[in-house]
Structure 1
Amino acid sequence: MQAHAQTSSADPRTALVLFSGGQDSTVCLAWALQRYARVETIGFDYGQRHRVELDCRSVVRSAMAEAFPDWGQRLGEDHLLDLALLGQISQTALTQERAIEMQANGLPNTFVPGRNLLFLNLAAVVAYRRGASVLVGGMCETDYSGYPDCRDNTLKALQVALSLGLDSPMTVETPLMFIDKAQTWELSAALGGPALQAIILEHTHTCYLGVRDVKHAWGRGCGHCPACELRAQGWQRFEAATATRAG
């Protein structure tokens, strides 16, 4: 297992990972732990319907530190910020009990306007205080949803603004930006092999509806919300590709 987690040439800078307890942010955490000498995590409680993801965060952190001692030595403090205000001003399917559907603007009503912009701004403040110069997030352009605050040009612009506003270089790393869910599973295999994938399957949370008591081959969730469907489809493609290579 440890062969997947060699970090002898780690970047001496400190990274702060936006860590929700989901699949994508867990892969990003592994990615950062393989590259940086010290890695801290930050999460946000904004009144999300799937708040159960926050309960998964400490479980995932502990499991990763136990499975990969090298990573455990690099894993630093966790920060959890109360962003109830975001939930109060957002009228979306992620913060209110409403059906998930597409809107007239072509975006699903799971889009929380400005969520990632706010997350990264607040993460930059914490990073500045903690002496970190790298922010790592699981934003991705290839997912069907097309959230505008997940786009590469948005985050590049924000990186410039953060560096200028803090008068200190701030790098925003998005290792999943141009890969799909099947490739995210591939990346997790490359980073931590079966041990990391077992952690993702058992302990991470993706389901928008917060369902944890239903288990599938790809993890836990309702199985029919957009987030579950995307994760399941990615797993199926990954499994098919793995079987093809093995055959």
Structure 2
Amino acid sequence: MKPNPEANSNRRALVLFSGGQDSTACLAWALERYAEVETVGFDYGQRHRIELACRQTVRREIAAQFPAWAAKLGEDHLLDLRLLGQISDTALTESRAIEMQANGLPNTFVPGRNLLFLGFAATLAYRRGASVLVGGMCETDYSGYPDCRDNTLKAMQVALSLGLDTAMTIETPLMFITKAETWSLSEQLGGPALNELIIEHTHTCYLGDRGLRHAWGYGCGSCPACELRRKGHDEYLAAKATCA
């Protein structure tokens, strides 16, 4: 995943940035590659709204701890998509138990979420002169969401490029790697300092719980997002110990 300076030196990127582990790793990945990187977040009435506050803390910490990245970190944008929450019936937009549904998907799946996010992000990128969208979608360690699949993202890239009549690239650096490998990627990009920043300042827990700090970060420890993050962190540490 080494950057190609000649290919990316003049390109601007827009990172879909939630304030979680995955999007923070993607932000670091983009800052290593592109001339300027802006971020966009979405308020869709999510139950774990605390992530919206974490976004700004993560951006400030990255700028403070990584001066080379700070020089390329551009504006942040927060889009109001609360209509999505109003038409959704999910455990991410309502106070209800997280469980599996008859269709095999967890009820944390918000139908159309990533499709809407990418559409609005592409519109913003077009206006801001960016030609790359970067997202943390992944189909390796994930909850089975169909709008996280590589084929979905490839189809969206074609549709957006045609609809805007300009090339719009969707980059998904985490698509085929595990959560353990995501921890390794962020360490490769920013060393132990970036992983410590992720542990201390990012938010992933679906329930919005920041009352207890675990070795892998804050969260309830039992929702699917926390379980994936904990498992990945455990595997990452085990792999490091084996290589030591």
User: TM-score, normalised to structure 2's length?
Assistant: 0.97
Contact kept, 8 Å, 1:32 with 1:136, in 2: the verdict is yes
Unmatched 5+ stretches in structure 2: none
2:223 pairs with one of 222, 225, 243: 225
Residue 166 (structure 1) aligns with:
164
Check if 1:206 corresponds to 2:193.
no
Residue 236 (structure 1) aligns with:
234
Moved segments of 4+, more than 4 Å: 5-10
Instruction: Please give the per-residue CA displacement for 1:204-225, whole angstroms capped at 9, x wherever unaligned.
Output: 0000000011100000000011
Residue 110 (structure 2) aligns with:
112
Q: What secondary structure sits across from 1:205 in the alignment? A: coil
How far 1:6 moved relative to its partner? 9.6
* Partner Cα distance (1:6, 1:103) in 2: 41
Aligned-pair identity (%): 74
What are the equivalent positions in structure 2 for 1:45-194 lying under 5 Å apart?
45-194=43-192
* Partner Cα distance (2:95, 2:19) in 1: 21
Contact kept, 8 Å, 1:7 with 1:70, in 2: the verdict is no
Q: What secondary structure sits across from 1:50 in the alignment? A: coil
How far 1:7 moved relative to its partner? 9.6
What are the equivalent positions in structure 2 for 1:1-80 lying under 5 Å apart?
11-80=9-78
How far 1:143 moved relative to its partner? 2.2
Contact kept, 8 Å, 1:50 with 1:209, in 2: the verdict is yes
Instruction: Please give the per-residue CA displacement for 1:111-146, whole angstroms capped at 9, x wherever unaligned.
Output: 000000000000000000000000000000012411
Task: Give, as a single letter, the amino acid of the residue that structure 1 aligns with 2:146.
Answer: P
Instruction: Please give the per-residue CA displacement for 1:80-126, whole angstroms capped at 9, x wherever unaligned.
Output: 00111000000000000000000010000000000000000000000
* Partner Cα distance (1:92, 1:69) in 2: 40
User: TM-score, normalised to structure 1's length?
Assistant: 0.96
Unmatched 5+ stretches in structure 1: none
Q: What secondary structure sits across from 1:44 in the alignment? A: strand
Aligned residues: 242
